[in-house]
Structure 1
Amino acid sequence: MDATRVTRTLLQRWPLPAPDGSSKKDRGRVVVIGGSRGVPGAALLSGDAALRAGAGKLMTFTGAESASTLGVAMPESGMEAVALGDDGELGTLTAGQVDTVRKADAVLVGPGMATGASPAPAQAARVAGAVVADAGSLHADALVPAAGRLVITPHVPEMADLMDLRPDDVSRRGADVAIEAARHFNAVVVLKGPTTWIATPDRTLWVHHVDAPGLGTSGSGDVLAGVLTGLLARGASLPQAALWGVAVHARAGRRLGRRAGRVGFLARELLPVIPRILASLD
């Protein structure tokens, strides 16, 4: 299967939509549903990334135990507290919270959550418009209801679990597996790694290579998922947001690698670089 390389030229020929006005409402509303007792900060990383990518408004749904603390840490976001189950994962969303999800322009579900442990991703998938599914939402119950409105962002082990394959099989047949998953879930697939495969249900395939080992760090995927969601909120199409998100995330990693060292920088240090990368690609 032939794949088109994601390059600066390709991105510049497919420019992101410009906001119609200066209001934050013009750049779209994002809801991030994520975090758990064990990983409360993942939703913060994703939400910050969505705003850095240009989204106008942010609401974060996270565990009741940490919602106030995260709200102070990120005053740009509204906070919705979700009751935690005995396992420390998000419980059921309230009717009001589901209505907030319904009104969002783009919704990210799953950062900082254990796979299949919470009912919230499936609730959100049934009513949301554009959906980015990451980490804890990468299972059929959360993906099938969002078919046709969905971007999924698995790394190799997550894709292996999702498609009932061995990780070695996914690594060896990355392009084919990405296409199979895109068709199976009617979704845009971002199969993450140093070589990232991006596939659509109609078998369109792109590939992006990056030499940035520092991106293989805790929280980096949360940042990528947030960037994708922010671009969707701005009005990008599903595949356009995927291509731009992957490229911006990779370039931010390369830039930090040159500045701070090839490994050892933190995922949160990617965040202030994102607007500069977007501006340089415009």
Structure 2
Amino acid sequence: MTVIQRVRVHFALAGILAALAVQFTATAFMPTIAVDSYQSVVTFFLTASALLLMASFLLERGERSSFLLRLRGDLLRAEIEDNARLDHLTGLFNRRYLAVMGAMLAGRDGPYPIGALLLDIDHFKHFNDTQGHLEGDRCIRLVSDAIRAALREGCPNAAAFRFGGEEFLVLLPGATPVATQTLGKGVRHAIKALGLPHPGPGPAGIVTISVGTAVAVDPNAGGLDALLAAADAALYEAKRLGRNRVCGAPATATPHSPDVDGAAPAP
């Protein structure tokens, strides 16, 4: 196989200038060469050099244009892929991508056990109604950022989704019930630590979340739908008990749950 390496324009220019200098010097010292012949030689070499440089320049410009077009196409495809799987407000995975990742994580060959956190901002409708939609969007962004930061520290392989308007879902591959509960508590405390003012009916006066946790240990027990249903039931229980707490699904609850401010420690 023959490989042709094209010389860059500046290297080609330097090489041609050096060759011309050698040629003109050698020709000038030839005593028998006529002036007309010398001028013809000079004209030929200058014309050939100019054509070679122009061709090299055009080829290099074409390569750069092709590279920029490919780069632009790659960036556009990456942006389209991100838009297809990411929520534009929070930067978390969106509900559409949950079907794709959920099939991988909660399938029969998934990394069981799989933990799930279903989180809901407490009294968010009241917050949105009184503070306005812009502040509501800001609240959602700050909450999602806090969730992302808590997961980065507690479970780097977790996948976080914006599940609904003010609902978030976190899938935790390989997480035990205790680890799932512990992470749910960490996220709840991280949201509370933001100290975002909330004029709602809650006693805290700041934005809080309720968390339902569940863990799937058997790939034959209904997959992702069953896991989400269990987490949703636990979230409903957290809200029923007064919000701003973590409750585990009955099958996966540990002696540490529910987690709520002021709760007595487990024996």
Under a length normalisation based on structure 2, what TM-score does the superposition of the two structures give? 0.22
Under a length normalisation based on structure 1, what TM-score does the superposition of the two structures give? 0.21
Q: Which has the higher contact order (CA 8 A, sep 6+)?
A: 1
Q: Which has the larger radius of gyration?
A: 2
**Structure in which a larger fraction of residues adopt helix:** 2
